Amino acid sequence: MAAPHDNDPRSIVSISRVVSVHPKLVQPQRVLTLSNLDRQCPKLMHLVFFYNNLSHQTLKDLSLSSVFSNLKSGLEETLTLWYPGAGRLRPNQNDGKLNLWCNNQGAVLVEAETSVKISQLGNLSEYNEFFEKLVYKPAFDGNFSNMPLIVAQVTKFGCGGYSIGIGTSHSLFDGPATYDFLYAWASNSEIVKGRSRSDELPKPVHERGILLSGSLQAPRGTINFPSDSSLNAKQARAIAIDHLYQLIMQTASGQKGFPLQIGGPSIPKKCVLKTYHFSGAMIEDLKRKHFPMKRGALPFSTFEVLAAHLWKARTKALGVNKEKLVCFQFAVDTRNKMSPPLPKSFSGNAYVLASIMMSVGELEHASHEGIVEKIREAKNCVNHDYVKAYVDALDGPQQASSLPPLKELTLVSDWTRMPFHNIEFFRGKAAYACPLATPIPQVAYFMQSPSDNKGVDVRIGFEAQNISAFTECFLSIA
């Protein structure tokens, strides 16, 4: 069935109430100092969970009012431990940098209903503009002090199914912390009576600790080389930041200086979000054809295989000139790469970008296996010193967030270890957990497939005229 159009009256989503939700146990007000990793992207990131696989009797017994009530009480209980989620961002008066004011102002929960049936939305893994109606987007005047850090909307569909659209500030949580928070909330919200409830809920650690600028020192037991050591100078730099700077200078050189006008001075073209399903069988086929196993060698991970394949496919599809430098960057979790390691339930942002760079000509001639080796080298370079250099490099003015997309830069974020569809707000897993458009829609997200536990869904954004070429390159395994 075709998805409903905006001008179709049946596509209306009616909001019946909007409430503020506060911690069940009010915490003392305090300011939580954020790290530079937290400050990179203070905007809300949205996920929509679809639950249409409930039994008929369960649907019959559930009312929208009871679902809303249970979600509200569960959120109140969850915010007792995850209390920064009820606060607001606030700029420091001295340097203007954002910190987190834990002031118990509250999260926002919304109740809504529509006559649309979930089956009308088609393939839930494919982005649909109707999904934007399933999340609550409070008016934002540029003042982060007025913006809630957690918003959620529960919507009942005409078929009796539900969606829960959730937005969380990226300054509050990274991916693993978001997963832990949502898991705790779902466990505290007994929407379906008799559902098993986990007693092993992680207790979050909100203090940013050694990730704070100025707190990162060389790990204990290491030898500090003299400041003029070339080896030390090389190791003390965050390669991802250097590579990004080189791409910016390359683009500026092609445009005869600043300001950058990548894509021209007009309004940027609309980015179309597409999801590509790589089944477990397709991934194994890709490994067999491009990644011959050598005796004693480490097996290639699904992430490494898909990442190398995607970089080649995207660069080829966008037609980047062979003499140009192109860069592949991917997010690395630093929780276990610090000395000492970050707490297991650290709730802030702990990801940095690792990076590799080469010319388009080199990328075309490089084997998939050779690219994977470079990906492994880049990941292994992420250690305590790398994170220190990365955090320090972000200490200046934050201008990168306004940088237009670069076709020479391929970015990947691996969500396969955060299977959001497994979060059971109702009895049973979600049919799908769909991310909405992110601040940088060109980033590729690798997500675990709900229907194929060895498969991966790859969500990525392109301008419309590039979709066909990328599809052909990416889905071609030969």
CB 302 within 8 A of CB 456: yes
Beta-ladder partners of 101: 31, 88
Active site residue 170: yes
Strand order of the sheet with strand 98-102?
30-32, 98-102, 88-91
DSSP letter string over 300-323? Answer: PPHHHHHHHHHHHHHHHHHT--TT
Phi-psi group of 106: left, alpha or beta (phi > 0 → left; psi -120 to 50 → alpha; rest → beta) = left
DSSP 180-192: HHHHHHHHH---S
Tell me how far apart the alpha carbons of residues 123 and 414 are, in angstroms, rounded to a whole number: 22
C-alpha–C-alpha distance, residues 48 and 153, integer Å: 9
Q: Across 39-161, where does the E strand assignment appear?
A: 44-51, 88-91, 98-102, 107-114, 150-156
- Listed in sequence order, the residues at least 6 apart from 435 whose beta carbon sits closer than 8 Å to its beta carbon are 45, 46, 47, 445, 447, 459
Beta strands in 207-324 (DSSP E): 271-278
Residues in the chain: 478
Q: Which of these is catalytic: 46, 170, 243, 421?
A: 170
Of the candidates 152, 204, 171, 203, the one whose C-alpha atom is nearest the C-alpha of residue 425 is 152
Classify 453 as helix, strand or coil: strand
Q: How far apart are the first and last CA of the chain?
A: 34
Which residue carries 């089956």 as its tokens?
119
Query: Which pair of structure tokens corresponds to residue 229?
Result: 């050591």
Mutual angle of helices 302-318 and 280-290, in 10-degree steps: 80
Catalytic (active-site) positions: 170
